[in-house]
Copies of this chain bind each other. A is one copy, B any other.
Amino acid sequence: MPQPDVIQQPGAVFTTRTPRVVAARRLQRRRDRDETGRFLAEGPQAVREALAAGAVVEVFCTTDAYARHAELLQRVDRVSAVDDDALAALTETVQPQGLVAVCTQRDVPLADALRKAPRLVAVCADIRDPGNAGTVLRTADAAGATAVIFAGDSVDPYNGKAVRASAGSLFHVDVVRARSAQATVDALRDAGLRVLAADGYGESDLFEMSDLDRPTAWLFGSEAHGLPDDLKHAADARVRVPILGGAESLNLAAAAAVCLYASAKALKASKESM
């Protein structure tokens, strides 16, 4: 049952002009996300994952959504009722399901992520499309990667579209942001990871790789230009997903799924045989 007293200003329903709503809405801009270290996550699934990760600062919801998600929202310290216009202003989807959370960004330094001795890592270098960034996060998480590194001039992983495409995985993995892709490759190798560059023209065929059961970091480049040359050459090998039909290439997210799952399968088999 809804517990109206959990809504912190009894009787007050925030509008688009309420200062707290105005402040939260600014998090749709990268500059404000960078300055505050916060971001927005929409819908009950994201709120649930954010709560599990201890990342929720506050939640705005309609009174209808409060009634539907009372159990979930009782676990949030600060819940505020908003009118429909305020909810629409805070969200970007057509059906935001009535609630949106302000969350703290979850970046960890690369050294912290590597200290956990990850066996599978994804590195996104210069990825510009937020939907692709979020999809790679989701796929990497599903494949058992424990860290996803956004290197170089990549999109902000806390962009609203990236958050939605990640479907909660942003809250599961170590998110690392690294300015220098080259220094990242060095650090990955120092941590005992083999560094493989996904490259449509790579000299190694993914199907022929025999030692994918070693701890591996996969490098994925931009949608338009692939990996920059220096990064390709910094990797231990350049691996192509073989193209068996008439297509010229795979798109980024599909190539990442095939590569990460090839590693996942080999790593799982080696773990089970130990």
Residues of A within 8 A of B (CB): 45, 135, 138-146, 165, 167-169, 171-173, 207, 241-251, 253-258, 261, 264-265, 268-269
Oligomeric state, in copies? 2
Contact B268 A207, beta carbon cutoff 8 Å: yes
Q: Which residue of B lies closest to A250 (CB)?
A: B142
Which residues of chain B have C-beta atoms less than 8 A from A265's C-beta? Answer: 207
Which residues of chain B have C-beta atoms less than 8 A from A245's C-beta? Answer: 140-146, 169, 172-173
Contact B251 A138, beta carbon cutoff 8 Å: yes
Which residues of chain B have C-beta atoms less than 8 A from A264's C-beta? Answer: 242, 244
Contact A244 B143, beta carbon cutoff 8 Å: yes
Q: Which residue of B lies closest to A266 (CB)?
A: B207
Which residues of chain B have C-beta atoms less than 8 A from A253's C-beta? Answer: 135, 251, 253-254, 257
Contact B141 A251, beta carbon cutoff 8 Å: no
Contact B246 A257, beta carbon cutoff 8 Å: no
Query: Which 5 residue pairs spanning A and B have beta carbons closest together?
Result: A144-B244, A172-B246, A142-B247, A254-B257, A141-B247
Q: Given contacts A207-B265, A265-B207, A268-B207, is CB(A168)–CB(B247) below 8 Å? A: yes
Which residues of chain B have C-beta atoms less than 8 A from A255's C-beta? Answer: 257
Q: In the docked arrangement, what's the CA distance between A138 and B257, Å?
A: 14
Which residues of chain B have C-beta atoms less than 8 A from A268's C-beta? Answer: 207, 242, 244
